[in-house]
A and B are shown apart, each in its own frame.
Chain A
Amino acid sequence: MTQPFDYLRETPSQTAGPYVHIGLAPGAAGFDIYDRELGWDIAGPNAKGTRIRIEGLVIDGTGSPIKDVMLEAWQANAAGHYAHPEGGGPVEEGFRGWGRVITDFETGAWGFDTIKPGSVRDGSGKVHAPHISLWIVARGINLGLNTRLYFDDEADANAADPVLGMIEWERRRPTLIARRTESDGKPVYRFDIRIQGEDETVFFDI
């Protein structure tokens, strides 16, 4: 007889359902319960770097915006460090690097304010272009979708990025690149996520 493994098995995922806001953004569900909701301040007041805004829609297979999505963002600071013991270096006081946003119930629009992350050197020495990791959950999504947001004004860094470079279908790479615009002199990056169909956003097994 062979030796048995003693590994446990991961708890299976289930959809977040239509009322994810109750638990994770109760103010949006229509009631105040917590003194402090989590995830509204990604970079904090002391973060160095360029203040930016990210905006977009999540679009389903019919071309319609999804109006009950929750997204979470995870990013490094301007020096390329994550707020984590293995994050590569120190971060500014109050820099959490994590955010949580929901879409508008009427329009499906979402957005968050943060700072533009720096390039990240990972543990094997590869340099990743500035990017923000995103995790998307909603009714109808059985297991959260992982993707990355890159910036269109980082063309040289993007061209050298190991993740973008690994996507063999070059015409799919632009689905991960946010487009820069400006509003009142502040950079705003537009990033629409297409769940299904034409120009479907690249999602990752991470």
Chain B
Amino acid sequence: MSAAAAFYQRNRDRHPPALTPAYKTSVARSPRLARISLDQSVAEMTGPTFGHDDIGPLDNDLIRNYAQDGDPIGERIIVHGRVLNENARPVPNTLVEIWQANAGGRYRHKKDTYLAPIDPNFGGCGRTITDADGAYAFRTVKPGAYPWRNMVNDWRPAHIHVSVFGTAFCQRLITQLYFEGDPLIARCPIVQTIPDPDGIDALTARLDMNATIPLDTIAYRFDIVLRGRRATMFENRP
């Protein structure tokens, strides 16, 4: 049996380091010792697979998937894009999950006590599976900014949390999507854990007028890039 081709090494300069003191919670939740590099084996180069049986027909429509007696209040948006790998190839049939606050910045979570009200028609979570081109789409309302206990007056920019799998456990990624033009992006200690301005730009969804539905829903575009994989040009001897 030949060795399977490994995934490209993760570029740690692209990602936040573990210890980012301006984001206070990271101080006690970051390892002090260096991570140990592992030769990828089958455990790292495989990962769970999901199918349409796993999800429901409304799961990618946050305007409808928790509606009780009407639509949620807020700016109606489509968030769409593609999941690609570093070789610019689409990643089809992969699970994309999102969660977010409502238009007022309040989460439907028993631990969120922010005074902005819950929206009775908004849950705030969605999931979908990419198509053959790696494309995905959600319909939701644009989340509001909210305060958090870091510095006394810190506010998170409007954001949607995004979780994606790829085909291998080593591609597993959770990130956050921000919105073009938000002045809180530059002030946010969590955003600013990312050392590379280009990396922050990559998390900033663009207004996409071409995908906007006139008189109905405005659209943002957000592409996600997962780790790429080497081609097996030369096989290892067993």
Contacts and interface: CB of A to CB of B under 8 A. Distances in A.
Interface of A: 6-24, 26, 29-31, 33-36, 38, 60-62, 64, 66, 68, 72, 74, 76, 82-84, 86-88, 96-98, 105, 120, 122-126, 128, 131, 133, 135, 137-146, 148, 162-163, 166-167, 195-197, 200-206
A204 B37 contact: yes
Interface string B1-37: 1111000011110111110100101111111110111
A137 B97 CA distance: 15
Contacts of A197: 32
A11 B29 contact: no
Given A14-B190, A17-B161, 19 more contacts: A9-B86, A10-B11, A10-B226, A12-B200, A14-B16, A14-B174, A15-B193, A19-B107, A21-B109, A23-B98, A26-B125, A33-B65, A86-B4, A123-B41, A124-B1, A140-B25, A142-B15, A196-B32, A206-B169
Given A8-B86, A122-B41, A203 B56 contact: no
Contact of B48 (A21, A74, A139, A200): A74
A111 B59 CA distance: 27
Contact of A13 (B16, B167, B191): B16
B84 to A, nearest CB: 6
Contacts of B202: 9, 11-12
B46 A87 contact: yes
Contact of B56 (A17, A35, A84, A128): A35
Contacts of B212: none
B29 A195 contact: yes
B109 A143 contact: no
A87 B49 CA distance: 11
Contacts of A74: 43, 46-48, 169
B108 interface: yes
B155 interface: no
Q: Determine which residue in A17, A68, A128, A201 has the highest number of CB atoms from chain B within 10 A of its CB, and name it.
A: A17
Ranked 8 nearest A-B pairs via Cβ = A23-B99, A140-B25, A98-B48, A140-B29, A84-B46, A142-B16, A122-B41, A61-B28
Interface in B126-179: 126-127, 161, 163, 167, 169-170, 172-176
B181 interface: no
A60 B24 CA distance: 13
A167 B39 CA distance: 12
B225 A34 contact: no
15 contacts: A7-B87, A9-B225, A10-B227, A11-B224, A14-B194, A15-B174, A17-B176, A22-B108, A74-B48, A96-B48, A124-B238, A128-B43, A142-B20, A143-B15, A195-B31
A23 B238 contact: no
A13 B25 contact: no
Given A13-B16, A33-B125, A205-B36, A19 B28 contact: no
A196 B199 CA distance: 27
B96 to A, nearest CB: 11
B46 A203 contact: no
A181 to B, nearest CB: 25
A82 B43 contact: yes
B236 interface: yes
A9 B198 contact: yes
Contacts of A17: 161, 176
A75 to B, nearest CB: 8
B99 A123 contact: no
Contacts of B224: 11
B71 interface: no
A199 to B, nearest CB: 11
A204 B193 CA distance: 21
Nearest to B125: A23
Given A8-B88, A125-B1, A163-B38, A203 B31 contact: yes
B8 to A, nearest CB: 8
B48 A133 contact: no
Contacts of B27: 61, 140
Contacts of A128: 41, 43
